[in-house]
Amino acid sequence: MQNVIQLLPDSIANQIAAGEVVQRPASVVKELLENSVDAGAKSVQLVVRDAGRTLVQVIDDGAGMTETDARMSFERHATSKIRSSDDLFKIMTMGFRGEALASIAAVAQVEMRTRRAAEELGTLVRIEGSEIKAQEQISCLPGTNLLIKNLFFNVPARRNFLKSNSVEMRHVLDEFQRVALANPDVAFSLYQDDREVYNLPSGKLSRRIIDMFGKNYREQLASCEEQTPYVTVHGYIGKPESAKKTRNEQYFFVNNRFIRHNYLHHAVIGAYEGTLPDGYHPFYVLFIDIDPSHIDINIHPTKTEIKFDDERSVYAIMMAAVRKAVGVYNLTPSLDFDGNVNFLNNQNSAIERQKAADSGQTNTLQAERGGGSAPRPVMPNWATGFPAGASSFDKPVGAPAKSDAPRPVSTNSSVIFERSKASQSSPSHSDTEPPADWLPAPAPGSADLDAAIDSLTFGSRANQLPPESAEAPESLTEGSTVLQVHGRYLLASVKSGMLVVDQRRAHERILYDQFHAALTKRNGASQQLLFPKTVHVSAVDYQLALDLREELTGLGFQFDESGTNTFVLHGIPALTPGENEEELFSNLLAQLRADTGRLKLERSESLARSLARRSALRHQSRLGEVESRALIDQLFASTNPSYTPTGEPITTVLTLDKIQGLFKT
């Protein structure tokens, strides 16, 4: 019988390895930039053409290579960083497998010029598809200059699977930002199609963040640092008011290596608990320094995932570090420093500064429980809702002034009686519009807040129904009144019981239909700005806006380029009244970038979804009877009144049997 097993040729083996290491142009950028950092470069220049399809060039002033090393660097598993198996458990460099250059050379045309500073002549190596075309001595600058041309030229199937230039360029920018953030002591520059995108001088981490993301981050950063014998955490976090609805600017680095770690992300979010509005995400750039023997970084081809030998300890230390930064920099309204040993010793002075700063402002920071002395935030007036962009600790509009005097304990029945009596005697409400506080809510002076909250069953019980209970909306009964609850839900009587409508989701569905129609017909009305607004965006969003100019213009946006990563906004869609123009445009781009990275949608579909979500009514929006009924009528006239464009239920019906079941004992 003839033998059938044989060794693969090196060229085929390298192409197989390239399938894991080189997925797109951004993979090449990552590997080459990390090699430059490992070589001790102090200045790195990245040049990209055609989003990396045609050219990816990296020029550094690092150590350079000898003629033999230059040739050996393209062999599989050839590396200068591993000598024995013990070295795998103390890796501090970025690259170590020795697969990057070999994999890249298998699917591209590569040209490398390199010279050590002590040598007079350098080396030129030219390779195409793992085949060496030339190797000779040349005159060149110290360091290494690598040109990667025509990526996937010999694997056309892989080239066809690449996305559009705008998508691929966003991935390139992401990789560039991660390496640049991890190494602020190295100067980086990026040129895209002969246009300078970034020019980042070496300096401190805070300077690198501001240079990369914009000057508006200068006042939004808070230093975060925690040192323990096991692990050290340092970096910067953003203040709650700078939080965004997208998770685009969140970075973890372990021993200067970018990683993704949902477990540690949960620790950071837990430290922000009570300071962020629902659906908002904080900015952070956090570094973890740990003995490499306690981690395993060799579990993923791109090395973006690692394992800790004690994840729980790292989780606890990370949460303590962020929580300390949140407290010391007065980011939270009130904290009990005495009960947390992780805070600094000057905790009492910090509390006094916090009280002094808040004495004349609108935030009510603490209320005394009936039988204890621990400070707790005063719950908001449930009928008025939160102001735009406020956290759950912020004092709502119209709330009473803060008082340090002990407050009497009110029973739940007295709270309801006082609120209902105030509602009946208030002359500010008309017969056609229900009073804003028609539901019982805790009295401003009540200390028994938990008991009063438990009495509110309409909003909570309806909101806890499973998604599959959402039914097709029924028509309103004749003469029924539409009531608004907490600025979030609309209640109306229908034949089978009570219809509950999520106000924000309903508005999102209505806006989506209008935006999608405008994009389809390219006839979106534009509201001209009296004074044009200058909008600064990230390099990724700048490229995205240029790529989507036609669609954005069809929606009603009118803008021109004005310098690096800057636009001048002349008009916005007429369907978005009362919006902050700069925030609308920049947040739309950020939202769109998150959506397109997660969903495979057409441009018009993704753009309509993103703008509808961005422009939907806020939770605290107050609607009168006529406005509430008009919103429901528009919802019923939409293409799908039951679900948002992303599949979230908009309406549900509390049948009479369900309502009756709420009162059973």
pLDDT higher than 80, residue 506: yes
The predicted pLDDT at position 609 comes to 77
Q: Cα–Cα distance between 346 and 338 in angstroms, integer?
A: 11
Average pLDDT over residues 36-45: 94
Q: Which of 224, 329, 306, 293 is nearest to 258 (CA)?
A: 306
Q: Between the CA of residue 267 and those of 261, 263, 295, what are the distances in Å?
A: 10, 7, 18
Mean pLDDT score across all residues of the chain: 74
Domain with CATH 3.30.230.10 in the chain: 206-339
pLDDT band at 475 (very low <50, low <70, confident <90, very high): low
C-beta atoms surrounding 490 within 10 Å? 22
pLDDT band at 397 (very low <50, low <70, confident <90, very high): very low
The predicted pLDDT at position 86 comes to 67
The predicted pLDDT at position 96 comes to 64
Domain with CATH 3.30.1540.20 in the chain: 473-665
Average pLDDT over residues 263-273: 90
Under 8 Å between Cβ of 507 and 623: no
pTM of the model: 0.62
Under 8 Å between Cβ of 585 and 535: yes
Identify the CATH homologous superfamily for domain 473-665.
Answer: MutL, C-terminal domain, dimerisation subdomain (3.30.1540.20)
**What's 459's DSSP letter?**
H
The predicted pLDDT at position 157 comes to 84
The predicted pLDDT at position 302 comes to 65
The residue with greater pLDDT, 565 or 479, is 565
Locate 604 and state its tokens: 């018009």
Q: Which of 373, 384, 454, 375 is nearest to 413 (CA)?
A: 454
C-beta atoms surrounding 461 within 10 Å? 15
Out of 149-158, 448-457, 468-477, pick the least confident. 448-457
Q: Which of 533, 529, 586 is nearest to 556 (CA)?
A: 529
pLDDT band at 102 (very low <50, low <70, confident <90, very high): confident
Q: Cα–Cα distance between 286 and 237 in angstroms, integer?
A: 8
**535 torsion bin: left (phi>0), alpha (psi -120 to 50), beta (else):** beta
**What's 432's DSSP letter?**
S
pLDDT higher than 60, residue 104: yes
The predicted pLDDT at position 365 comes to 34
Highest mean pLDDT among 18-32, 382-396, 602-616: 18-32
- How buried is 202 (Cβ within 10 angstroms: 0-12 exposed, 13-18 middle, 19+ buried)? middle
Tokens 């306690």 locate to: 294
Locate 269 and state its tokens: 């979010």
Average pLDDT over residues 90-114: 83
The predicted pLDDT at position 476 comes to 66
Tokens 């999520």 locate to: 502
Phi and psi of 601, rounded to 5°? -125, 160
Q: Residues 409-439: pLDDT tens digits?
A: 333 433 333 444 444 444 444 444 433 333 3
Phi and psi of 189, rounded to 5°? -140, 150
Under 8 Å between Cβ of 559 and 545: yes
The residue with greater pLDDT, 343 or 149, is 149
Out of 77-91, 492-506, 530-544, pick the least confident. 77-91
Q: Which of 182, 203, 148 is nearest to 303 (CA)?
A: 182
pLDDT higher than 60, residue 198: yes
Locate 386 and state its tokens: 């939160």
Average pLDDT over residues 574-599: 70
Q: Which of 663, 641, 624, 512 is nearest to 576 (CA)?
A: 512
pLDDT higher than 70, residue 512: yes
Highest mean pLDDT among 105-114, 212-221, 328-337: 105-114
Orientation angle between helical segments 25-38 and 165-182, nearest 10 degrees: 20
- CATH of segment(s) 10-203: 3.30.565.10
Q: How far is CA 245 from the centre of its chain?
A: 7
Radius of gyration, alpha carbons of the chain: 30
The predicted pLDDT at position 118 comes to 92
The predicted pLDDT at position 85 comes to 67
The predicted pLDDT at position 49 comes to 94
pLDDT higher than 50, residue 46: yes
pLDDT band at 216 (very low <50, low <70, confident <90, very high): confident
Average pLDDT over residues 126-131: 90
Helices (H) and strands (E) in the chain, counts: 20, 22
pLDDT band at 579 (very low <50, low <70, confident <90, very high): low
For residue 277, what are the contacts with CB-CB under 8 A and spacing of at least 6? 243, 386, 389, 390, 391, 392
Q: Cα–Cα distance between 112 and 601 in angstroms, integer?
A: 39
Average pLDDT over residues 385-395: 38
Q: Compute the CA torsion angle 635, 641, 646, 648 (nearest 10 deg).
A: 100
Q: Which of 324, 401, 363 is nearest to 241 (CA)?
A: 363
Give residue 564's identity as a one-letter amino acid code: T
Average pLDDT over residues 622-633: 80
Average pLDDT over residues 469-497: 71
Q: Cα–Cα distance between 159 and 146 in angstroms, integer?
A: 21
Domain with CATH 3.30.565.10 in the chain: 10-203
The predicted pLDDT at position 189 comes to 95
**What's 643's DSSP letter?**
B
The residue with greater pLDDT, 524 or 352, is 524
Phi and psi of 232, rounded to 5°? -120, 130
Q: Which helix (H) or strand (E) holds 72?
A: helix 67-72
The predicted pLDDT at position 144 comes to 95
Q: How far is CA 536 from the centre of its chain?
A: 18
Q: Options 3.30.230.10, 3.65.10.10, 3.40.640.10, 3.30.390.30; which CATH number does 206-339 get?
A: 3.30.230.10
The predicted pLDDT at position 532 comes to 87
The predicted pLDDT at position 52 comes to 93
The predicted pLDDT at position 9 comes to 78
Highest mean pLDDT among 15-24, 216-225, 379-388, 512-521: 216-225
3-state secondary structure 144-158: EEEEEECCCCCCHHH
The predicted pLDDT at position 627 comes to 81
For residue 388, what are the contacts with CB-CB under 8 A and spacing of at least 6? 618, 620
Q: Which helix (H) or strand (E) holds 20?
A: helix 10-21
Q: How far is CA 234 from the centre of its chain?
A: 20
Buried/exposed 84-114: b ≥16 CB within 10 Å, e otherwise: eeeeeeebebbbbbbbbbbbbbbbbbbbbbb
Orientation angle between helical segments 581-598 and 603-615, nearest 10 degrees: 130
Q: Write the DSSP string, 218-269.
A: TTTEEEEEEE-SSEEEEEEEE-GGG-BSS--SEEEEETTEEE--HHHHHHHH
Average pLDDT over residues 559-583: 79
The predicted pLDDT at position 22 comes to 86
pLDDT higher than 60, residue 377: no
Buried/exposed 274-285: b ≥16 CB within 10 Å, e otherwise: ebbbeebbbbbb
Q: Write the DSSP string, 74-121.
A: TSTT--SS-SSGGGGGS--SS--SS-HHHHHHHSSEEEEEEE-TT-S-
Average pLDDT over residues 562-583: 78
Orientation angle between helical segments 625-636 and 503-521, nearest 10 degrees: 50
